[in-house]
Amino acid sequence: MSVLLLRLAAPLQSWGTSSRFTRRTTDRAPSKSGIIGLLAAAAGRRRTDSIEDLATLRFGVRLDQPGHVERDFHTARPIDGSAPLPLSYRFYLADAVFLAVVEGEEQFLTTLHEALRRPVFPLYLGRRSCPPSGPLTLGVRNQTLEDALAGTPWQASPRIQQKHRAATVTLDTAVDAPLGEQAQDVSYLVQDEPVTFAPEHRQHAWRTVIAGQVTLPNPDYMPTSAVGDHDPMALFGAS
Amino acid sequence: MTRTIVDIHVLQTVPPSNINRDDTGSPKTATYGGTRRARVSSQAWKRATRDAFTAMVETAKLGVRTKRVVELLAETIATRSPAHAERSAVLAKTTLEAAGIKLKEPRKKNGEPPLEESAYLLFLSRAQLVSLAALAITAAKEAGDAAVVVDKKEAKARADQAHSIDIALFGRMVADNTDLNVDAAAQVAHALSVHEAATEYDYYTAVDDHKRDDPEEDAGAGMIGTVEFTSSTLYRYATVDVDRLNDNLGDPAATREAVETFVRAFVTSMPTGKQNTFANRTLPDAVLVLVRETQSINLIGAFEDAITDRDNGSRITAAVGRLADHGREVHEAYDEQPVAGWSVGVGERTAELGELGQRTTLDTLITSLGDTVADRVQATL
pLDDT in tens, A42-89: 999 998 899 999 989 999 999 999 999 999 998 887 777 677 778 889
d(CA B86, CA B97): 19
Please choose, from the candidates B51, B119, B20, the residue with its C-alpha nearest in 3D space to the C-alpha of residue B265.
B51
**B239 with A116: Cβ contact below 8 A:** no
pTM of the model: 0.83
Q: Where are the beta strands (DSSP E) in B293-378?
A: 340-345, 358-359
| pLDDT band for position A139 (cuts 50, 70, 90) | very high
Best mutation target, B228, B295, B308, to test chain A (most A CBs within 10 A): B295
Q: Are residues B72 and B66 in contact, defined by beta-carbon separation less than 8 angstroms? A: yes
pLDDT for A201? 84
d(CA B345, CA B291): 18
Q: Are residues B10 and B323 in contact, defined by beta-carbon separation less than 8 angstroms? A: no
**A131 with B241: Cβ contact below 8 A:** no
Tell me whether 0.90 is exceeded by the ipTM: no
**B42 with A129: Cβ contact below 8 A:** yes
Output B158 or A96, whichever has higher pLDDT: A96
B23 Cβ contact partners less than 8 Å away, ≥ 6 residues apart: A73, A87
Nearest CA in chain A to B109: A83
d(CA A87, CA A75): 5
Best mutation target, A14, A79, A155, to test chain B (most B CBs within 10 A): A79
**A129 with B334: Cβ contact below 8 A:** no
**B295 with A73: Cβ contact below 8 A:** no
pLDDT for B199? 93
pLDDT for A238? 60
Nearest CA in chain A to B32: A95
**How near does any CA of chain A get to the CA of B34, in Å?**
7
Q: Are residues A164 and A64 in contact, defined by beta-carbon separation less than 8 angstroms? A: no
SS3 A161: helix
Among A89-103, A168-182, B268-282, the minimum mean pLDDT is found in A168-182
Best mutation target, A95, A116, A127, to test chain B (most B CBs within 10 A): A95
| CB contacts < 8 A (A, B) | 118
Q: Which residues pair with A202 in a beta bridge?
A: none
d(CA A212, CA A185): 11
Phi, psi of B155 (to 5 degrees): -60, -45
pLDDT tens digits, one per residue of A16-27: 888 778 888 999
Q: Are residues A127 and B292 in contact, defined by beta-carbon separation less than 8 angstroms? A: no
Q: Which amino acid is at B118?
A: S
> To 10 degrees, the CA torsion angle through B181, B186, B191, B192?
100
Name the residue among A9, A95, A135 with its Cβ closest to that of B34. A95
pLDDT for A223? 74
SS3 B357: coil
Nearest CA in chain A to B301: A133
pLDDT for A85? 79
Q: How far is C-alpha A191 from the geometric centre of its chain's CA atoms?
A: 16
What is the maximum alpha-carbon separation in chain A? 87
Question: How far apart are the two ends of chain B, measured CA to CA in Å?
Answer: 11
Please choose, from the candidates B337, B305, B292, B235, the residue with its C-alpha nearest in 3D space to the C-alpha of residue B13.
B235
Q: Angle CA(B356)–CA(B357)–CA(B359) in degrees, nearest 5?
A: 125
Residue A163 has pLDDT above 70, yes or no: yes
Please choose, from the candidates A3, A6, A10, the residue with its C-alpha nearest in 3D space to the C-alpha of residue A127.
A10
SS3 A145: helix
- What's the whole-number average pLDDT of chain A? 89
**A94 with B31: Cβ contact below 8 A:** yes
Please choose, from the candidates B166, B377, B191, the residue with its C-alpha nearest in 3D space to the C-alpha of residue B291.
B377
**B107 with A83: Cβ contact below 8 A:** yes
d(CA A154, CA A221): 12
DSSP β-ladder status, A58-65 and A168-176: antiparallel
**A124 with B31: Cβ contact below 8 A:** no
d(CA A124, CA A34): 9
SS3 B36: strand
Q: How far is CA A165 from CA A64, A68, A152, in A?
A: 16, 21, 20
pLDDT for A225? 60
Nearest CA in chain A to B295: A118
**A10 with B298: Cβ contact below 8 A:** yes
Name the residue among B120, B300, B334 with its Cβ closest to that of A133. B300
pLDDT for B334? 87
Name the residue among A117, A128, A133 with its Cβ closest to that of B184. A128
pLDDT for B152? 87
Residue A183 has pLDDT above 70, yes or no: no
Of chain A, the percentage scoring pLDDT greater than 70 comes to 93
pLDDT for B115? 82
Helix (H) or strand (E) holding A9: strand A2-13
Crossing angle, helix B126-143 and helix B88-98, to 10 degrees? Answer: 110
Name the residue among A11, A74, A122 with its Cβ closest to that of B296. A122
Output B58 or A9, whichever has higher pLDDT: A9
Please choose, from the candidates A32, A77, A38, the residue with its C-alpha nearest in 3D space to the C-alpha of residue A58.
A32
Q: What is the mean pLDDT of each run of 10 residues along chain B (381 residues)?
A: 91 95 92 94 94 89 86 91 88 90 78 78 86 90 83 88 88 80 93 95 90 83 92 96 92 92 96 93 96 94 91 87 94 91 93 93 96 91 75
Give the A-side interface with B, CB within 8 Å. 9-12, 68, 70, 72-74, 76, 78-80, 82-83, 85, 87, 92, 94-95, 116-119, 121-124, 128-135, 157, 159-160, 198-200
Residue A239 has pLDDT above 60, yes or no: no
Q: Are residues A77 and B121 in contact, defined by beta-carbon separation less than 8 angstroms? A: no
Cβ count near B348 (within 10 Å): 8
SS3 A154: coil
d(CA B27, CA B229): 6
Q: Angle CA(A106)–CA(A110)–CA(A112) in degrees, nearest 5?
A: 120
pLDDT for B6? 97
